[in-house]
């Protein structure tokens, strides 16, 4: 996939330059609630958050939870930063979100087993061609990793409107019950 789309607007670039470094997940070491937020709050992890609308909404509604989002596309990260920053003064800033610009699996691997309350994979790229199926997030390796990071009773929420991807995901999930 690509990591950069259209050029960022001036305000978006300013947020990438100033806000992202303050809320970015570190590039090495463990990723824990204590290190990110200074306490033991429940953690949510969103894989490929797109423009960050869902992540910002959850962060706003659940202020005592922590959200980690990973997105490879810089334009999505920039859009999410506008939500975190309060949508240009329309809302208060959201302080319980941390962002990783890059591969979600890199961060997920550094989260301790059993640490996540929720994992979201909402409308990922379906990679519809058979030869691209190995690129899908809903494959045995990532699903096994996600399962290991969820605490007992934790939830994995997956959504797609792509029928081929749905069938593929159901087959994978059947193997990981």
Active-site residue set:
125
Structure tokens of 101? Answer: 């610009």
Distance CA 131, CA 57 (A): 35
Q: What DSSP designation does 25 have?
A: P
CA distance 161 to 102: 24
**Helix H or strand E segment including 116:** strand 116-122
DSSP state string for 132-147: GGGG-SSSHHHHHHHH
Give the distance, in angstroms, between the CA of residue 164 and the centroid of all CA atoms in the same chain.
Answer: 23
In angstroms, rounded to a whole number, what is the distance separating the alpha carbons of residues 9 and 83? 15
Burial class (CB within 10 angstroms; exposed 0-12, middle 13-18, buried 19+) of 105: middle
């Amino acid at each position: 996939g690509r990591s950069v789309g259209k050029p960022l607007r001036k305000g978006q670039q300013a947020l990438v330059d100033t806000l992202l470094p303050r809320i970015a997940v570190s590039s090495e070491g463990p990723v824990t609630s204590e290190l990110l937020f200074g306490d033991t709050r429940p953690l949510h992890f969103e894989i490929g958050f797109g423009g960050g609308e869902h992540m910002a909404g959850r962060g706003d509604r659940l202020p005592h939870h922590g959200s980690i989002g990973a997105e490879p596309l810089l334009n999505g990260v920039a859009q999410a930063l506008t939500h975190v920053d309060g949508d240009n003064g329309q809302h208060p800033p959201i302080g319980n979100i941390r962002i990783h610009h890059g591969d979600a699996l890199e961060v997920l691997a550094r989260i301790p087993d059993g640490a996540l309350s929720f994992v979201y994979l909402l409308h990922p790229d379906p990679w519809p061609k058979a030869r691209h199926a190995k690129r899908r997030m809903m494959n045995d390796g990532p699903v096994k990793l996600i399962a290991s990071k969820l605490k007992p009773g934790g939830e994995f929420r997956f959504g797609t409107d792509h029928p081929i991807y749905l069938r593929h995901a159901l087959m994978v999930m059947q193997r990981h019950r």
